[in-house]
Amino acid sequence: MDFFSYQDGRLACEGVDLASLATRTGTPTYVYSASTLALHYDRLAAAFREIDPLICFSVKSCPNVHVLRTLVQRGSGLDVVSGGELHRARLAGCPMEKVVYAGVGKTDEEIRDALGFGAGGGAGGGARSEGEGGRGVPIFNIESEPEFQTIAGIARSLGVTATAALRVNPDVDPKTHAYTTTGKKETKFGVDLERARAFFRRFGHEKHLRLTGIHLHIGSPVSETEPYVQAVTRTLELIDDLAREGMKIDTLDLGGGFAADYQTGASPAAADYAAAIVPLLRSRAGEGGLRFILEPGRSIAANAGVLLTRVLYVKESGRRKFIVCDAGMNTLIRPALYGSFHFVWPVTVADAHVPPARTERPPLEGLEPCDVVGPLCESGDFLAKDRPLPPVARGDLLAVFGAGAYGMSMASRYNSHPLPAEVLVENDRARIIRRRETYADLTRHEEGTQEVPV
């Protein structure tokens, strides 16, 4: 599952003792395991090898440039949803031909940049200039008719030709949190299947934005394979219908959303997803004329990261015991926002309290129910509620597991807490890949004023 394990009662990431690391880096700190990132990427690539997809890691799940660079060097492409993420992709050294640009609200400036004509891409580096190559992204995932018209118009004005995939909603229930369900008709993403047919009839022959792909993303995390089977089956029917009308689809972006093991053994393995999906696509791969894209995020990064946090106080109120830490919803918002489970455990424990698995109720003696909460002035500021824990005292170090995806990427400076540090571990080597912010960093952009002409 990952390379975080207890050795003589002390949690280690690969060959690095995390208690010692926290003493040097301070807390809160995100720690990522390079070997775990590589392991999960390799397993996914091996599972889907038969259809040879372009795997584009979802930048939004864990955007640190050094993490991205680790995966790019492994062969990964990148899935971006903003101009800032495209900037990160460039800094990570990702070839533009391996970048997919999604996102429901692309601005004109972001579109020009993605076509190669912005501050990041450099003028003259369009996606596909007429008669020559360029440095723009190879494919835009399109969310609506107005977006298609906007991108096509900008490409036309720049004299370039870009390629697009229409995001469709197959109206499949991924059985996940309402906030992360994206494949049903009532979500803000993409268009429904009937509207998609009309979309292709209207825009399928646009010269400057070639509409030759279809994009799926039904939600996240999806812990069953059947929703993917339903979504892919319905989408293949759409592809066949379009072919009968003379419109050839050459790219199917399957999206991501594969679950991660927030609890030990809770999600299907990459091979399980592939076993359900690949048979539907086998005849269409290679000479079948369809190329595939995957956009995994949490299935690669979640278990590759932990959040280290220091206990500030232990207090009791009524019948509840509170473990007050220096990390809260500003550092990791998933529990407060989604009610998400993260396994929380002391970094240093007695042998009797080394967890046999990461579960909500470990089968160990001497545990006491606790609420693990943060320092913020919010009642919703918590990392775990009613969680059995070993004895914990002020100054102890806790690890929040499964924090590699949508942890630091969603962190904030609420209550004017500086953002935490990030560390990447490779074997027995640890590197700070984002320094901890200072108070000066908090106010740096507020220094001085600038008169605005009105």
Region of 52 on the Ramachandran plot (φ > 0 left; ψ -120 to 50 alpha; else beta): left
DSSP 78-136: EEE-SHHHHHHHHHTT--GGGEEE--S---HHHHHHHTT-STTT-TT--TEETTEE-SS
- Rounded Cα distance between 190 and 192, Å, is 7
Opening angle at CA 259, ends 191 and 376, nearest 5:
95
Opening angle at CA 255, ends 193 and 400, nearest 5:
135
274-281 long-range Cβ contacts below 8 angstroms, 24+ apart = 274/47, 274/48, 274/50, 275/225, 276/225, 276/226, 276/228, 276/229, 277/48, 277/225, 277/228, 277/229, 277/232, 278/48, 278/50, 278/51, 280/229, 280/232, 280/233, 280/236, 281/51, 281/232, 281/252
DSSP 272-337: HHHHHHHHHHGGGSGGGS-EEEE---HHHHGGGEEEEEEEEEEEEETTEEEEEES--TTT--HHHH
10 Å Cβ neighbour count for 289?
A: 11
Please answer whether residues 55 and 294 qualify as being in contact, where contact means their C-beta atoms are separated by less than 8 angstroms.
Answer: yes
Task: Name the active-site residue from 56, 325, 370, 377.
Answer: 377
377 is catalytic: yes
- Rounded Cα distance between 325 and 43, Å, is 35
Q: What share of the chain is helix, strand, coil (3-state, %, to 5)?
A: 35, 25, 40
For the annotated catalytic residues, the residue numbers are: 377
